[in-house]
């Protein structure tokens, strides 16, 4: 059975990532480091054969994808369905503010209760259903080829769980770093994991700059 190769990348860093402030569907741009990370990811993928780049339409993902599109020459397609989990009234709050203002809701969030949603937001079950359907729709168009997905930390988390059979409530033991390179295979039977959390393009660039 032929498969579609997928390179999945979380957007570069934003100021709100640094502040531990939940972004969700709020449209926060990359900071200077995030722009640099996007450029390094684009450089690392420059020689990869890429049929298409599917990206969240939020700026932090779109600008990361734009750098990759420029380096690979692949077409870039925006999709609302690749957005981060909607956190409703949690959006714009730091982790500390959530603990102080909504301690009971914050506890349910930390417990990763699958069917619970922040007020006005999206449950983990709904997020998983959305991402699974979206990835299938895109990957099925490129069987035998390779695509890039540029999205968010919550989306990367769901992809890892889908590919490894991890339950939504299972403690996370994998990294969701900004602009790291993750590789999966898709077939009609689902996703499988090829490689996760590749940061060599970020580490090597740092070493090169330090020795200059």
Residues marked active site are found at: 11, 84
End-to-end CA, the chain: 48
Residue 208: CB partners within 8 Å, gap ≥ 6? none
- Residue 129 structure tokens: 């259903």
Rounded (10°) CA dihedral 177, 179, 181, 184: 80
- The answer to whether residues 55 and 78 touch, using CB atoms and an 8 Å cutoff, is yes
What backbone torsions phi and psi does residue 12 show, to the nearest 5 degrees? Answer: -70, 175
- Residue 4 structure tokens: 């579609």
Q: Are strands 181-187 and 76-79 parallel, antiparallel or unpaired?
A: unpaired
Distances (CA, A) of 109 to 28, 87, 106, 164, 166: 22, 10, 5, 22, 18
Beta strands in the chain (DSSP E): 4-10, 52-56, 76-79, 146-151, 181-187, 190-198
- Identify the DSSP state of 82: G
């Amino acid at each position: 059975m032929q498969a579609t190769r997928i390179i999945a990348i979380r957007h570069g860093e934003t100021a709100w990532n640094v502040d531990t402030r939940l972004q969700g569907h709020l449209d926060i741009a990359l900071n200077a480091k995030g722009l640099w990370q996007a450029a390094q990811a684009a450089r690392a993928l420059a020689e990869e054969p890429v049929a298409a780049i599917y990206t969240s339409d939020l700026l932090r993902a779109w600008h990361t994808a734009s750098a990759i599109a420029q380096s690979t020459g692949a077409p870039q397609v925006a999709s609302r369905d690749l957005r981060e989990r909607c956190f409703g009234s949690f959006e714009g709050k730091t982790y500390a503010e959530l603990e102080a203002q909504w301690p009971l809701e914050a506890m349910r969030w930390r417990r990763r209760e699958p069917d619970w949603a922040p007020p006005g937001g999206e449950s983990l079950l709904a997020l998983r259903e959305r991402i699974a359907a979206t990835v299938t729709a895109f990957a099925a168009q490129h069987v035998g080829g390779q695509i890039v997905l540029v999205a968010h930390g919550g989306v990367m988390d769901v992809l890892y769980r889908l590919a490894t059979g991890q339950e939504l409530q299972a403690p996370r033991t994998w990294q969701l770093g900004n602009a790291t390179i993750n590789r999966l295979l898709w077939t009609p039977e689902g996703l499988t994991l090829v490689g996760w959390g590749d940061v060599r393009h970020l580490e090597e660039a740092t070493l090169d700059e330090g020795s200059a």
